[in-house]
Amino acid sequence: MTLKKTLLALFLSFVVAFSFLAFVQADKNGAADFNLNQLHSPTHASLSAFPAFSTCTDQFSSNQSLEDSAAEAQNVLANNSTRAGIYDFIVANPGVQFRGICAGLGVAVGTAEFHLGVLKRAGLISFVRDGKFKRFFAKRFSHAEMKLLSALRHNTSRAIIAKIASTKSAGHSELASGLCITSQGLTWQMSRLRQQGIIQEGYSGTKVTYRLTEDYQAMLPRLLSCLGKAGVL
Residue 204's pLDDT band (cuts 50, 70, 90): confident
Q: What is the pTM of this model?
A: 0.64
pLDDT given for residue 141 in this prediction? 92
Q: Which residue has the higher pLDDT, 14 or 182?
A: 182
**Percent of the chain whose predicted confidence (pLDDT) is above 90:** 42
pLDDT digits (tens, 9 = 90+) for 27-45: 555 444 434 344 344 444 4
For 170: left if phi > 0, alpha if psi spans -120 to 50, otherwise beta; the answer is: beta
**Tens digit of each residue's pLDDT (9 = 90 or more) over 153-198:** 999 999 999 999 888 888 898 899 989 999 999 999 999 999 989 9
Weakest-pLDDT range from 37-41, 125-129, 206-210: 37-41
CATH fold group of domain 63-140? Arc Repressor Mutant, subunit A (1.10.10)
Mean pLDDT of 186-212: 89
Q: What is the structure's pLDDT at 166?
A: 87
Is 145-227 in CATH node 1.10.10.10? yes
If you average pLDDT over every residue of the chain, what do you get? 77
pLDDT at residue 48 is higher than 70:
no
Residue 207 φ then ψ, to 5°: -95, 140
Distance, CA of 197 to CA of 183 (rounded, Å): 21
- Per residue in 97-116, pLDDT tens? 999 999 999 999 999 999 99
146-155 exposure pattern, b = at least 16 Cβ within 10 A, e = fewer: bbbbbbbbbe
Residue 7 pLDDT: 57
Residue 15 class from Cβ within 10 Å (0-12 exposed, 13-18 middle, 19+ buried)? exposed
Residue 17 has pLDDT above 90, yes or no: no
Q: Where in the chain is the domain with CATH 1.10.10.10?
A: 63-140, 145-227
In whole angstroms, what separates CA 190 from the centre of its chain?
Answer: 31
C-alpha–C-alpha distance, residues 151 and 156, integer Å: 9
pLDDT at residue 202 tops 70: yes
Strand partners, 128: 135
